[in-house]
Structure 1
Amino acid sequence: MTSSSATSSQPNRPPRPNLAFRRLRGRRSPAEFAAAVRRAAREIGERVSCDARYIGRVEAGEIRCPNYAYERVFLHMFPGRTLTDLGFAPRSSVRGRGRGARTDEDTPPVHSQSPAQSTSETRGPGEPYDTTQDPYDTHINYEESDVLRRAFMTGGGATVAAASLGPFGLALDASAAERPVRRAGSSEAGALEEAVRRIRLLDDRHGADGLYRRAAAPLRAAYALLDAGATRQATADRLHSGAGELAISVGWLAHDSGRFDDARSHYAEALATARMTGDPALEAHAFCNTAFLARDAGRPREAVRAAQAAQRIARPLGSARLMSLLALREAGGWAGLADRTGCAQALTRAHALYDRGSSDADPEWMTFYGEAELEALEAQCWSTLGDWTRASRHARRAAHLQDPHFTRNIALYTAELADDLARGGRPDEAAAAGMRVLDLLDEVQSSRIQAMLAGTARVLLPHRRASGVSAFLERHASTPRQV
């Protein structure tokens, strides 16, 4: 992580308002324009979560040049115009001037460079999944993140811990939350929200095992901020929502790395925060994850109850995609109870709700939920019910449909496929799928995936003579378990 004394490109230059971009917005409010940006992104298959705050920062000149995802969206919205026509600075002018600075977007990273020596395009605060950059590529520096870190560094020890979940890795000060802090403002709330996005991005790319222990300190810091109080009620609301979402994210890291008791505690903490502040969106999210955990922990009836509670809470929020996911959570519980009828009915609802399409009401955290995830969750239901043919068919679709940037999910879906094929009497195909998972384990650290692969290996042991099975078993046995 770059120290607070690190300087970005032209750090003392005051921002100039982007009047050209403001004119393009016309009579629409920032929120209305942000909704138009999100719609345009969906039209071209991009993933941005633009909000009114991002539009305001662009118009204020704080974002001199958008990242590549936003660039593609803006140029799609205003065909025939360049970034300069939209009021942005040339990309080359916001790159670092150090010896390793890149001059072309296709130039490979120079990893020997210090993080303090380079700046790149600004990343929008509302974009949780910028798949154009590697979050572990520590030589990259974004102007916005640098400004955010500098603001956070003045806020006391606890805020430093929360801010450290930035694009430069997860180096944390575990004692930070114990030191006194001043009353939190909007910069602290923004950095907390950014920490949640970073955790989600890193998990999607690399799995949970390497993140969980390092994510605990920012969570303690977040609740220290709540205890310190906020300068305004709006900021306090953002802090509570951010702390709750962070608790869910850390809970998921615990969940995916097999620490079920820790995960249950974190989800309960998020649920309590949601109920104290009257935040139905956060409460629905907490129940959603609680249902998933209950299913994995062998408590299927609790999974059904939690999923049904989430649906009651989420219905007024107006997101069909959220209701679809919650129906899948319920289906998983019914499958665990061996209730094929209840499972099938919930799956039918999930598909019908999914087919209504996405909307502006969809929560930001649901960016992972697409057709691939729907297929994968259905595969898990049929697998639980012992219908290996159906399960493998849906798992294969999931792996095929998944965006290649979501490495962890590709590994997960392929591991599901391998297990379903093995149990369905197709050992050669199972071994081939297992080999593809092993190829990804250098990038992905997930106890869930490793446990699934170990189960597949046990099922394949009696089939050593089948094509490819012996090679898979030998390679699996020689693969070290990640800690």
Structure 2
Amino acid sequence: MASSTVTSSQPDRPPRPNLAFRRLRGPRSPAEFAALVRRAAREIGERVSCDARYIGRVEAGEIRCPNYAYERVFLHMFPGRTLTDLGFAPRSSVRGRAARPAVAAPRGPSAGERPGERPGESLGAVEPYDLWDRRQNDPPNHEESDVLRRAFMTGGGATVAAATLTPLGLAPSAAAADRPPRRAGIPEAMALEEAVRRIRLLDDRHGADGLYRRAAAPLRAAYALLDAGATRQTTADRLHSGAGELAISVGWLAHDSGRFDDARSHYAEALATARMTGDAGLEAHAFCNTAFLARDAGRPREAVRAAQAAQRAARPLGSARLLSLLALREAGGWAGLADRTGCERALVRAQALFERGRADADPEWMSFYGEAELAGLEAQCWSTLGDWRRASRQARRAAQAQDPHFTRNIALYTAELADDLAREGRPDEAAEAGLRVLALLDQVQSSRIQGMLAGTARVLLPHRRASGVAEFLDRHASYKGPRPVGGGRSV
């Protein structure tokens, strides 16, 4: 485990909470308000990866002035107001240079512009962390510019490591890597946190298979930042938390692509980081994913123990939704042990906790957990217990309730539905669901989903004459996507 050196540098200036922005959020949870921000961005042709943590940082005063893309979105959401009305500081006081002219009415990018840029904005005058914000507004396949590369390369070891924290694995040159390390500061911590968000966003949309190997570079960079040390204890804490969350994210990419040993190692690294720093939230997250992995790897008793350990860590955090998810992880373990009573008790507890609603204490990484995921995980429990009727009912509910943003989960729930229907003895409906999954595999690369479809195809082979089954089997046989790693059902 990498260590962090903390110096007795001048203390951080305490941020001033943005009470005006908090009032604008009203009764909505940070995650719900973040969803409104993303929707408003789409309305004006912007791309922002806003989530509950970003909203929390704004309200805590950590973000004194948003980048230009967020500025356009906020002014679109609250017409007639200025950034000052929204509780932000003048841009000139934050960036240390003259403010630009007032932002015009929001509009989509014209030909030749990237989302997040406007004519006359010079990249050469932008600080590295501002460039990082710009990077988040680009499409996922955007190639890093030479300006961006140079901006990060010139700052020494920690800044070079931060440059590597992109989902596309911007790797520093060998000469840059040999420079004496410089202690990490707030920009590097921000880069690490944004890398975690971006990887999760890409996984939600496209699945794990195409991302796992590219995520290795950001993870190495995260631990390079820890080795470089931090200028302040608060920054060191953020770096450790960010590195642990990144290890879990990379572990999940390994998990979902069938690389169970790699996933176990990454989850263990995150757990060690949590234990070393006393981070209960990170510990609960690491145990949560360890329980899920144990269930998938055929170790149900370990899944139960890990889920119960996660619940012990999570109880002081004040998030009923987190405890609900952890109860579902426990239910999955009991199902794997064929303990129907234990499974049903955990499912009842998960539902009751879920109904308490969202809270500000809900972790940022739980943005995926809603009605759809609750139903999907319950479907997997009933499937493991062989109750195909209940399983198919919950899987259908999950697929119908899922936010369209989570393309990978829509494919997963529909694949679960296809398999449950096939085993329930409804081959025509199973084939119809299977065809819907195949139509999504151009966007989603997940060995888990491919393995589930392969199992469904085997079950449907004797039913080729049923309506739609032959078409599904033929299209599945001709599918040329990545081969499943491990194959078979995941439950």
**TM over 0.5, shorter chain:** yes
Task: Give, in angstroms, the shift of residue 29 of structure 1.
Answer: 3.0
Q: 1:258-312 CA deviation, whole Å, 9 max, x = no partner? A: 0000000000000000000010000000000000000000000000000000001
Amino acid at match of 2:211: L
Instruction: Output aligned runs, 1:94-109, within 5 Å.
Output: 100-101=112-113
Paired residue secondary structure (1:66): helix
Structure 1 residues 383 and 95, CA gap change in structure 2 (3 angstroms): closer
Are 1:375 and 2:388 an aligned pair?
A: no
Counterpart in 2 of 1:30? Answer: 18
Once residues 144 and 83 of structure 2 are traced to their aligned partners in structure 1, the CA distance between those partners, rounded to angstroms, is 23
Paired residue secondary structure (2:308): helix
Structure 1 residues 52 and 358, CA gap change in structure 2 (3 angstroms): closer
Instruction: Output aligned runs, 1:51-66, within 5 Å.
Output: 51=55, 53-55=57-59, 60-66=64-70
Structure 1 residues 441 and 32, CA gap change in structure 2 (3 angstroms): same
State the TM-score, normalized to the length of structure 1.
0.79
Paired residue secondary structure (1:444): coil
Structure 1 residues 83 and 400, CA gap change in structure 2 (3 angstroms): farther
RMSD in angstroms over aligned alpha carbons? 3.6
Structure 1 residues 363 and 477, CA gap change in structure 2 (3 angstroms): same
Counterpart in 2 of 1:81? Answer: 80
Counterpart in 2 of 1:6? Answer: none
Once residues 108 and 150 of structure 2 are traced to their aligned partners in structure 1, the CA distance between those partners, rounded to angstroms, is 19
Are 1:136 and 2:140 an aligned pair?
A: yes
Once residues 178 and 267 of structure 1 are traced to their aligned partners in structure 2, the CA distance between those partners, rounded to angstroms, is 29
Once residues 426 and 221 of structure 2 are traced to their aligned partners in structure 1, the CA distance between those partners, rounded to angstroms, is 50
Instruction: Output aligned runs, 1:309-348, within 5 Å.
Output: 309-348=309-348
Once residues 444 and 164 of structure 1 are traced to their aligned partners in structure 2, the CA distance between those partners, rounded to angstroms, is 25
Once residues 103 and 199 of structure 1 are traced to their aligned partners in structure 2, the CA distance between those partners, rounded to angstroms, is 19
Counterpart in 2 of 1:242? Answer: 242
Once residues 313 and 239 of structure 1 are traced to their aligned partners in structure 2, the CA distance between those partners, rounded to angstroms, is 21
* Contact 2:301 2:337 (8 Å CA) reproduced: yes
Once residues 151 and 94 of structure 1 are traced to their aligned partners in structure 2, the CA distance between those partners, rounded to angstroms, is 28
Task: Give, in angstroms, the shift of residue 92 of structure 1.
Answer: 6.0
Structure 1 residues 235 and 31, CA gap change in structure 2 (3 angstroms): farther
Once residues 103 and 281 of structure 1 are traced to their aligned partners in structure 2, the CA distance between those partners, rounded to angstroms, is 34
* Contact 1:247 1:267 (8 Å CA) reproduced: yes
Gaps of 5+ in 1: 1-27, 106-114
* Contact 1:65 1:94 (8 Å CA) reproduced: no
Are 1:480 and 2:468 an aligned pair?
A: no
Task: Give, in angstroms, the shift of residue 332 of structure 1.
Answer: 0.3
State the TM-score, normalized to the length of structure 2.
0.78
Are 1:302 and 2:306 an aligned pair?
A: no
Task: Give, in angstroms, the shift of residue 64 of structure 1.
Answer: 3.9
Once residues 215 and 31 of structure 1 are traced to their aligned partners in structure 2, the CA distance between those partners, rounded to angstroms, is 37
Counterpart in 1 of 2:359? Answer: 359
Once residues 462 and 51 of structure 1 are traced to their aligned partners in structure 2, the CA distance between those partners, rounded to angstroms, is 53
Task: Give, in angstroms, the shift of residue 32 of structure 1.
Answer: 8.4
Q: How many correspondences in the alignment?
A: 427
Once residues 58 and 151 of structure 2 are traced to their aligned partners in structure 1, the CA distance between those partners, rounded to angstroms, is 17
Are 1:90 and 2:103 an aligned pair?
A: yes
Counterpart in 2 of 1:454? Answer: 454
Q: 1:439-464 CA deviation, whole Å, 9 max, x = no partner? A: 01111011001000101011100110
Once residues 280 and 395 of structure 1 are traced to their aligned partners in structure 2, the CA distance between those partners, rounded to angstroms, is 32
* Contact 1:379 1:393 (8 Å CA) reproduced: yes
Counterpart in 2 of 1:465? Answer: 465
Once residues 158 and 467 of structure 2 are traced to their aligned partners in structure 1, the CA distance between those partners, rounded to angstroms, is 56
Amino acid at match of 1:382: W
Instruction: Output aligned runs, 1:42-53, within 5 Å.
Output: 42=32, 46=36, 48-49=51-52, 50-51=54-55, 53=57
Amino acid at match of 2:407: T
Amino acid at match of 2:351: H
Q: 1:5-57 CA deviation, whole Å, 9 max, x = no partner? A: xxxxxxxxxxxxxxxxxxxxxxx933784486384463796373244543577
Structure 1 residues 103 and 250, CA gap change in structure 2 (3 angstroms): closer
Once residues 242 and 59 of structure 1 are traced to their aligned partners in structure 2, the CA distance between those partners, rounded to angstroms, is 17
Counterpart in 1 of 2:410? Answer: 410
Amino acid at match of 2:80: R
Once residues 248 and 179 of structure 1 are traced to their aligned partners in structure 2, the CA distance between those partners, rounded to angstroms, is 29
Amino acid at match of 1:231: T
Paired residue secondary structure (2:453): helix
Task: Give, in angstroms, the shift of residue 85 of structure 1.
Answer: 8.6
Structure 1 residues 203 and 159, CA gap change in structure 2 (3 angstroms): farther
Paired residue secondary structure (1:211): coil
Once residues 399 and 279 of structure 2 are traced to their aligned partners in structure 1, the CA distance between those partners, rounded to angstroms, is 34
Structure 1 residues 65 and 482, CA gap change in structure 2 (3 angstroms): closer
Structure 1 residues 217 and 294, CA gap change in structure 2 (3 angstroms): same
Task: Give, in angstroms, the shift of residue 398 of structure 1.
Answer: 0.6
Once residues 63 and 228 of structure 2 are traced to their aligned partners in structure 1, the CA distance between those partners, rounded to angstroms, is 32
Instruction: Output aligned runs, 1:227-266, within 5 Å.
Output: 227-266=227-266
Amino acid at match of 1:138: H
Once residues 368 and 284 of structure 1 are traced to their aligned partners in structure 2, the CA distance between those partners, rounded to angstroms, is 16
* Contact 2:157 2:182 (8 Å CA) reproduced: no
* Contact 2:192 2:222 (8 Å CA) reproduced: yes
Counterpart in 2 of 1:289? Answer: 289
Structure 1 residues 84 and 193, CA gap change in structure 2 (3 angstroms): closer
Amino acid at match of 1:195: A
Once residues 213 and 290 of structure 1 are traced to their aligned partners in structure 2, the CA distance between those partners, rounded to angstroms, is 20
Paired residue secondary structure (2:482): coil
Once residues 93 and 366 of structure 1 are traced to their aligned partners in structure 2, the CA distance between those partners, rounded to angstroms, is 31
Task: Give, in angstroms, the shift of residue 174 of structure 1.
Answer: 9.2
Gaps of 5+ in 2: 1-15, 39-50, 89-101, 484-491
Structure 1 residues 365 and 62, CA gap change in structure 2 (3 angstroms): closer
* Contact 2:186 2:235 (8 Å CA) reproduced: yes
Task: Give, in angstroms, the shift of residue 253 of structure 1.
Answer: 0.3
Amino acid at match of 1:348: V
Task: Give, in angstroms, the shift of residue 66 of structure 1.
Answer: 1.9
Once residues 106 and 425 of structure 2 are traced to their aligned partners in structure 1, the CA distance between those partners, rounded to angstroms, is 59
Amino acid at match of 2:58: Y
Paired residue secondary structure (2:276): helix
Q: 1:324-382 CA deviation, whole Å, 9 max, x = no partner? A: 00000000000000000100000001010000000100000000111101110000000
Q: 1:388-446 CA deviation, whole Å, 9 max, x = no partner? A: 01001010011101111111111111000000001110100000100000001111011
Paired residue secondary structure (1:443): coil
Amino acid at match of 1:343: C
Counterpart in 1 of 2:42? Answer: none
Counterpart in 1 of 2:275? Answer: 275
Once residues 103 and 398 of structure 1 are traced to their aligned partners in structure 2, the CA distance between those partners, rounded to angstroms, is 33
Paired residue secondary structure (1:187): helix
Once residues 333 and 72 of structure 2 are traced to their aligned partners in structure 1, the CA distance between those partners, rounded to angstroms, is 41
- Identity percentage of aligned residues: 70
Structure 1 residues 362 and 438, CA gap change in structure 2 (3 angstroms): same
